[in-house]
């Protein structure tokens, strides 16, 4: 395995990221030749809109974990039709569990087990996932949000974070995410009633980076109130 830096020493890419994306995109083009593909490593199309059918691919989500831990990373694909999510796939590689589903198949499954909606917990009732720098720098009142929750957990992979929300192990997740980080998870989470928005409650721009808030309905309400009150610890 070869490892190199993309933007800094904490933003890694490996030859496996690149080969995975090339393999996936080649398969997508054979199966769905008229669709467009957006990929993290740049082997897809240059998109200016989500018109038509668009596949959004993250070949390895959590590359640092992949390199340093050999654990806690995922592969993700989201399929959108005219900007609306239809099918999402998050593959927890080391546990060999595929989380798949969405409106196109009227359900969400973990391998062959159909999932039900996670409990609609308020912020104070559960754990929240977050990106550590947001808390350190108190971006968007993150220290208040963590304080008001039952506690914070950090997994280092958006895919693994969203799996934990799907399973009800955490009630939400907050991080800066690019389209390939959130495309699959948004489809699965929305289908099970979990809210996905920007930190101020607006719809995501799926062609750019967003400060994303994933949360149960009650927790989203609590967090948006913290943002509206504009009060830090």
Both ends of the chain: CA-CA distance in Å?
Answer: 44
Same structural domain, 18 and 86: yes
* Pair 190, 95: CB distance under 8 Å: no
Q: Is 71 annotated as a binding residue?
A: no
Q: Is 61 annotated as a binding residue?
A: yes
Same structural domain, 98 and 29: yes
Give exposure, 113-138, as e/b (b: 16+ Cβ within 10 Å). eebeebebbebeebbbbbbeebbeee
Can you give the pLDDT at residue 3? Answer: 81
Q: Which domain-ending residue is among 114, 142, 172?
A: 114
Split into its structural domains, the chain has a count of 2
Q: Is 92 annotated as a binding residue?
A: no
Query: What pTM value is reported for the model?
Result: 0.94
Can you give the pLDDT at residue 154? Answer: 96
Can you give the pLDDT at residue 172? Answer: 99
Same structural domain, 80 and 139: no
DSSP state letter for 117 = P
Q: Distance between CA atoms of 168 and 205, rounded to whole angstroms? A: 26
Q: Distance between CA atoms of 15 and 35, rounded to whole angstroms? A: 25
Task: For residue 104, give Cα distances in angstroms to 79, 108, 157.
Answer: 10, 10, 26
Q: Which domain-ending residue is among 76, 95, 114?
A: 114
Q: Distance between CA atoms of 190 and 230, rounded to whole angstroms? A: 27
Identify the domain containing residue 153 by its residue range. 123-229
Same structural domain, 167 and 76: no
Task: For residue 79, give Cα distances in angstroms to 71, 202, 210, 226, 227.
Answer: 26, 21, 19, 33, 31
DSSP reduced 3-state for 188: helix
Q: Which two tokens stand for residue 167?
A: 């399973």
Can you give the pLDDT at residue 231? Answer: 73
Same structural domain, 95 and 198: no
Can you give the pLDDT at residue 217? Answer: 99
Q: Is 58 annotated as a binding residue?
A: yes
Helices (H), the chain: 15-31, 63-68, 132-136, 142-148, 158-166, 179-191, 217-229
User: Would you write out the chain's pLDDT as a tens digit for each of its 233 residues?
Assistant: 898 788 888 888 888 989 999 999 999 999 999 999 999 998 999 999 999 999 999 999 999 999 999 999 999 999 999 999 999 999 999 999 999 999 999 999 999 999 999 999 999 999 999 999 999 999 999 999 999 999 999 999 999 999 999 999 999 999 999 999 999 999 999 999 999 999 999 999 999 999 999 999 999 999 999 999 987 77
Among 32, 24, 21, residue whose Cα is nearest residue 54? 32
CATH number, domain with residue 137: 3.40.190.80
* Pair 204, 198: CB distance under 8 Å: yes
Q: Is 40 annotated as a binding residue?
A: yes
């Amino acid at each position: 395995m070869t490892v190199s830096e993309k933007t800094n020493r904490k933003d890694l890419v490996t030859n496996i990221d690149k080969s995975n994306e090339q393999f996936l995109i080649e398969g997508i083009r054979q199966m769905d030749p008229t669709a467009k593909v957006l990929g993290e490593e740049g082997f897809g199309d240059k998109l200016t809109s989500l018109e038509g059918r668009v596949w959004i691919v993250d070949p390895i989500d959590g590359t640092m974990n992949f390199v340093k831990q050999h654990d806690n990373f995922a592969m993700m694909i989201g399929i959108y039709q005219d900007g609306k999510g239809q099918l999402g796939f998050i593959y927890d590689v080391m546990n060999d569990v595929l989380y798949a589903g969405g409106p196109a198949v009227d359900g969400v499954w973990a391998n062959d087990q159909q999932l039900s909606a996670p409990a609609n917990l308020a912020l104070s009732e559960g754990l929240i996932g977050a990106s550590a720098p947001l808390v350190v720098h108190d971006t968007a009142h993150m220290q208040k949000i963590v304080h008001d929750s039952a506690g914070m957990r950090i997994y280092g992979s958006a895919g693994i974070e969203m799996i934990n929300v799907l399973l009800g192990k955490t009630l939400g997740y907050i991080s800066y995410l690019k389209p390939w980080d959130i495309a699959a998870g948004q489809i699965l989470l929305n289908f099970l009633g979990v809210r996905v928005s920007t930190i101020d409650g607006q719809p995501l721009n799926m062609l750019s980076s967003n400060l994303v808030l994933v949360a149960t309905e009650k927790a989203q309400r609590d967090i948006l109130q913290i943002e509206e009150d504009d009060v830090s610890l």
